[in-house]
Structure 1
């Protein structure tokens, strides 16, 4: 085992989605952003990081250097083409075989349950620590959708519970996710650490002047039912006409939900606002930052979120957020201070919250300033230091399993 202060060789496993892909495209979302930015921040401190993902295109190289010290490696497992997220369970064993040829690593950190199922047996075989992050956790079909995601494939619920119990540490992105890992999956609380994400406050920054007129609202997400985009459309439709902003939808449908965009267009047409709902597709980080800072308000109507990274990016952009009272969104948005949290899925309640902000420039300004101030406490260097403290606790002789309190701050 290396000494905790020596440079580490770290494997970050992201089997089903590449952290090199633009968030909002296919299955790329907040997890991709977290993995890439934490990797880059750790590499800037002298560590060597491999990000390991499945090859989903024949054009993908074997490896690609993202920044000095960070290499993205594409492993052959299943067809070299995009596939539905749930189908990745069939590629776990083959991915583990490819993973076994790489290294050596001081520890393996898996992101999402597919990755953990591939990597945990290999970590055990090599005698190195395994860290698990879920980013989303399945809920039983008998529970309301607001309780979490559905299990896209047969082994998910059992697999997540096994990983929560057997991994050396579970890193959650919020206190809400940590509670879910303990209560729903049976993870040991003393093996769960909360490491909040960060935001690039230079890229995501407020506009020089507040937007004027009706303007637009933004919802940025993978286009799938879990993200509650139908509620966003219905809420905007219920805002009084003189105040009603356009709705800009940034993101793309994954292969699991090919017809979802047309369903949303039909819904908008049914409410008579099809001309005011614009689907702009997945955005680069720079384009998303520009889009957010020009918005009057950002909507996050998800049924479930472990944190809600877009809420933090909106806050850094000085834009008030209206968010669902779901999971980590209660931590990402401070109700009445940086935005409004709606404990209802009634479009009328959402329209009232949106209208409250749009109709009161003073309130919007106060929310904007407080949001930016709070976002400045979240950055990727701080997030990576918290993560490295978890790694150090696992690698330090005689203290494995005793996770640092600072990682939960």
Structure 2
């Protein structure tokens, strides 16, 4: 059987996907856009900023909007109940509608992809092209999720993990087109990078938002009970003062370092300085930070959440601790701190297993979803620039 593929024009919409300081969902958007630009025409709609080299070195066309960080309060006050981030998203879409960006989407795109609820809610009702929405977490029924469920016009849904798909199917009855997890670039996240820091003893690394739900208190308590001296390094934005205060109360303030937020391309250097990676989250739909650490060959200690156990098996390519249990977390950390051979074995297997999640493979799955969305429209005009490849299947 011969299958012919045409170049699609795929749009990606995310307010922060272009920046070097992109978070998890933004990185997912960014990397999908870059990978799919290899075989399709891709446009990223994002606010202006310090764009990541991975974007500027790619074939992705970037359409910039203002950032709205300092927008007058008289305009934003009526929608303050949405919160700061969603207020900016609302204003970004309003600007897009008033400045012909929506017209650009309708004229140029075959399909538009969004990743956050308000973007999907607004754009699926504004554009004439099919939209694809990717869920990155399974929220309970809140006013925001209810609005999206009630008024979104998107029919093609993707989930970032089987756990996310299962929960949303149970809650809303959604029919997901596919599950496309986050990925890694094995050439970027790899062993052998020049380390960003050095330590005298074993170094434990945490990367993520510095908030309670990420289990930072559990991690501090666990490290405080370990024998010997270990350094604990935090990378991310959030409650740094709270971490310092808690570390001082536990008597480990000299062993705790908060590096602050780090641009995503610089993260491998921090992994290179660590001996163990730990993400003791209380809730996590997937845990992209775990996967990046695994790709760097680091042994990972994380929690036994369903979204995480889809790729991490206890004792095989990492260690799983009970959620919200500092003592169990301490036991797992002790196993790795005291055994270089165990660290080496788990790290090597983690690196090998992470390769299956490379962005190239994930983008191929996502491309199939976009193609299905396009092919579902009756009477579409095929592009005039011809097929990009012919596969025999």
Which runs of 5 or more structure 1 residues have no equivalent in the other structure? 141-150, 254-259, 401-409
> In structure 1, what is the equivalent of residue 253 of structure 2?
274
CA contact (8 A) 1:112 1:136 kept: no
1:177 deviation in Å?
1.3
> In structure 1, what is the equivalent of residue 5 of structure 2?
5
CA contact (8 A) 1:88 1:114 kept: no
> 1: distance between equivalents of 2:308 and 2:95?
33
Larger radius of gyration: 2
- Aligned partner (choices 50, 65, 71) of residue 75 of structure 1: 65
Q: How does 1:257-268 map to 2 (within 5 A)?
A: 260-268=239-247
CA contact (8 A) 1:239 1:355 kept: yes
- Aligned residue pair count: 359
CA contact (8 A) 2:19 2:50 kept: no
Deviations 1:170-189 (A, max 9, x none): 1112111111221233312x
1:44 matched to 2:38: yes
Which runs of 5 or more structure 2 residues have no equivalent in the other structure? 73-82, 380-393
1:219 matched to 2:206: yes
> 1: distance between equivalents of 2:237 and 2:194?
30
Deviations 1:61-111 (A, max 9, x none): 9xx962443133332485556983354465376256254232221011111
Look up the SS of the partner of 1:197 in the other structure.
Answer: coil
> 1: distance between equivalents of 2:186 and 2:29?
18
1:343 deviation in Å?
2.2
CA contact (8 A) 2:65 2:96 kept: no
TM-score normalized with structure 1 length: 0.79
> 2: distance between equivalents of 1:390 and 1:182?
18
1:203 deviation in Å?
1.6
- Aligned partner (choices 18, 21, 30) of residue 19 of structure 2: 21
1:161 matched to 2:149: yes
- Aligned partner (choices 100, 103, 112) of residue 101 of structure 1: 103
CA contact (8 A) 1:92 1:118 kept: no
> In structure 2, what is the equivalent of residue 233 of structure 1?
220
Look up the SS of the partner of 1:330 in the other structure.
Answer: coil
1:4 deviation in Å?
7.4
Deviations 1:3-49 (A, max 9, x none): 9721111111114xx112234xxxx421121111111111112x122
Look up the SS of the partner of 2:244 in the other structure.
Answer: helix
Change (3 A) 1:89 1:197: closer
- Aligned partner (choices 262, 268, 272) of residue 293 of structure 1: 272
CA contact (8 A) 1:161 1:186 kept: no
CA contact (8 A) 1:92 1:117 kept: no
> 1: distance between equivalents of 2:194 and 2:41?
41
* RMSD value, Cα: 3.1
TM-score normalized with structure 2 length: 0.82
1:50 deviation in Å?
1.7
> 1: distance between equivalents of 2:213 and 2:340?
32
> 2: distance between equivalents of 1:208 and 1:40?
23
Deviations 1:347-384 (A, max 9, x none): 11111110011112222121011101101222111111
